[in-house]
Chain A
Amino acid sequence: GAVVSQHPSRVICKSGTSVKIECRSLDFQATTMFWYRQFPKQSLMLMATSNEGSKATYEQGVEKDKFLINHASLTLSTLTVTSAHPEDSSFYICSVLDFGNTIYFGEGSWLTVV
């Protein structure tokens, strides 16, 4: 299956600052990537669908101006959490949709806002 890499795996940032998380598809050109958020002991929540070369599609309730998604190439999508607050602390996971219509996940990124 597709190999997906996320960076950083853990990040701590101060409240009010912005933090960028990268998602790379290492062996597959991904036109579609997905970003999820998962709070402790809760299920995955789809935040947005990232489409290469076009604007991301955000799920209801997800602020597009706060969670900026850029999918500028077929191998890289980035999620920037702007003006982060402690309630944004969560596990952020990206995934790639491969040609076999199967989803493969990155390792995830733990964000802690202090």
Chain B
Amino acid sequence: QKEVEQNSGPLSVPEGAIASLNCTYSDRVSQSFFWYRQYSGKSPELIMSIYSNGDKEDGRFTAQLNKASQYVSLLIRDSQPSDSATYLCAVNPIRLTFGTGTRLTIIP
């Protein structure tokens, strides 16, 4: 079992809709969770970090964490074409483990 699993996509979402990205992880003692966005040919940039169960909102982005289910998700509201990118889920900072990423395409 991979340490961090994501659906590779591609995920296509109409402009203005909600994009939902999901991630599961295997290490139950994981404490820190991150979502990064990576545009083609660029390095990843941090979007959200979450450490506690529940929701964390930042603008159009909401991260959701459920440690019991070992599940973390990212919701993007009012999706824009500029949100089209690969989204990487990452777990734990010391030896950051990335998922393979979900490629999101926002359709105008």
Contact = CB atoms under 8 A, between A and B. Distances in A.
B64 to A, nearest CB: 19
Q: For this complex, into which size category does the number of interface residues on chain B fall?
A: 20 to 34
Given A1-B46, A43-B101, A103 B96 contact: yes
Given A43-B88, A44-B88, A34 B96 contact: yes
Contacts of B54: none
B26 interface: no
Contact of A103 (B41, B42, B46): B46
Interface residues of A, number: 20
Nearest to B98: A44
Contact of B43 (A97, A102, A105): A105
Contacts of B41: 91, 110
B90 A103 contact: yes
Contacts of B88: 43-44
Given A43-B98, A43-B101, A101-B32, A106 B43 contact: yes
A49 interface: yes
A104 B7 CA distance: 24
23 contacts: A34-B96, A43-B88, A43-B98, A43-B100, A43-B101, A44-B88, A44-B98, A46-B95, A46-B96, A49-B95, A97-B94, A101-B32, A102-B49, A103-B34, A103-B90, A103-B93, A104-B46, A105-B44, A106-B43, A107-B42, A108-B42, A108-B43, A110-B41
Given A43-B100, A46-B96, A102-B49, 6 more contacts: A1-B46, A44-B88, A103-B93, A105-B43, A105-B45, A107-B42
